[in-house]
Amino acid sequence: MALLVVKFDLKKRVKLAQTVWFMYWFAVLAGILVLSLGLFFKIELRKRSELMDNNESHFLPNVLIAMGLIACGINAFGGKVCYDSLDPTKFAKWKPMLKTFLVFCMGFNALLIVTSLLCFIMRIPLQFTLAEGLKNGMKYYKDTDTPGRCYMKRTLDLMQMEFRCCGNDNYRDWFEIQWVSNRYLDFSAKEVKDRIGSNVDGQYLMDGVPFSCCNPSSPRPCIQYQMTNNSAHYSYDHYTEELNVWRRGCRDALLSYYGGIMNTIGALVLLVAVTIGLQYVDTSLSTLANPEDMESESEGFLLEKTVKETFTDIMAKMKTMGKGAKVEEGGEEGVATVS
């Protein structure tokens, strides 16, 4: 017994074909949008690739670009078939390949669901990638004269200003590393000697942050040095006063930004899903009461048999194909032995 049977006359078949045609071309537009967002996501990640701990973060945008391209091709083909279904002579050339096309569409829809889930799940590994990448990037902030690292200061400063953030988790992360290059330190000064001598690793640590951490909206001039020394600034208490540097960590800011992009794309990917309407178009034309009379009634269905029977048939066909492959292998081995 067929699954989800629907009766059609000529008017309903035309309306069905037009509706499915529209849905296919809507999916083409969604595919173009997924492709565009995949490219945009890849460019955004590449902009700050030096702050990523690995190159695996580009896996998702590459998948999105591929899925967007495939979706455009599949849905454009489906739209063409629906358009030609209104003309029996044109539709006849597509009919032999429709079953294969629909099976391919089902597999593609499954991949779309997996891709959509990846967009939501990849937020977790991205969090660890950003944390480690930012930590390493901050260590290289001072290496402005070291080949391969001279760009890190500019990258971090631009990022902190753009995303209104400071440090990895917060602004205090800058207190734990030396972010001023030795070439700009006066080693004859007592303060520099004391700070380096008091540190086990011989680093020049201070309770200060780069200028890019300053909040320009603050009415008070930026206090970026001696931030924990109340006596160094007039009418200042770092425990109670609102600091005029960004309090938000850059890991959280970047994660929110990239996470928002991935969530948007994840929801959009589901709109690319190929419709099952083409199956109804195909079956409604195949079951015409009088094939020579296009105005005669017909029946369309989703599956020719029940879900259980369809699954049993598929498994039986797979077993037959497996046995056929084994027979061929056995025959080849026999030939090789004889020779």
List the chain domain ranges.
Answer: 3-138+263-305
At 153, list the tokens.
């200061």
What is the residue type of 256?
Answer: S
Only one residue has tokens 């499915």, namely 20
E strands of 19-98, at which residues?
A: none
Query: Taking 60 as the threshold, does the pLDDT of residue 51 lie above it?
Result: yes
What is the pLDDT, as a whole number, of residue 26? 85
pLDDT tens digits, 263-310: 888 888 877 665 566 666 666 656 555 555 556 565 555 555 565 665
Quote the pTM value. Answer: 0.73
pLDDT tens digits, 4-41: 566 656 677 777 778 778 888 888 888 899 899 999 99
Across the strands, what pairs with 8? 298
CB hemisphere CA count around 151 (13 angstroms): 7
Higher pLDDT, 290 or 214: 214
Higher pLDDT, 53 or 119: 119
Mean pLDDT within 254-271: 86
Rounded distance, CA 95 to CA 93, Å?
A: 6
Higher pLDDT, 239 or 317: 239
Mean pLDDT within 242-261: 90
What is the pLDDT, as a whole number, of residue 327? 55
Its sign, for the CA torsion 323, 326, 332, 335, is: negative
Residue 189 pLDDT class (50, 70, 90 cuts): confident
Residue 192 pLDDT class (50, 70, 90 cuts): confident
Where does the chain have alpha helices with state H?
A: 10-47, 59-84, 88-91, 98-121, 123-139, 152-163, 190-197, 250-269, 277-286, 307-338
For residue 84, give the H/E element and its range. helix 59-84
Higher pLDDT, 320 or 140: 140
pLDDT tens digits, 57-103: 678 889 999 999 998 998 898 888 888 877 777 877 887 887 788 77
Residue 221 pLDDT class (50, 70, 90 cuts): confident
Q: For a pLDDT cut of 90, what percent of the chain falls above it? A: 17
Its sign, for the CA torsion 71, 48, 131, 214, is: negative
What is the pLDDT, as a whole number, of residue 329? 57
Query: Taking 70 as the threshold, does the pLDDT of residue 193 lie above it?
Result: yes
What is the pLDDT, as a whole number, of residue 286? 62
Report the Cα–Cα distance between both ends of the chain, in Å, rounded: 52
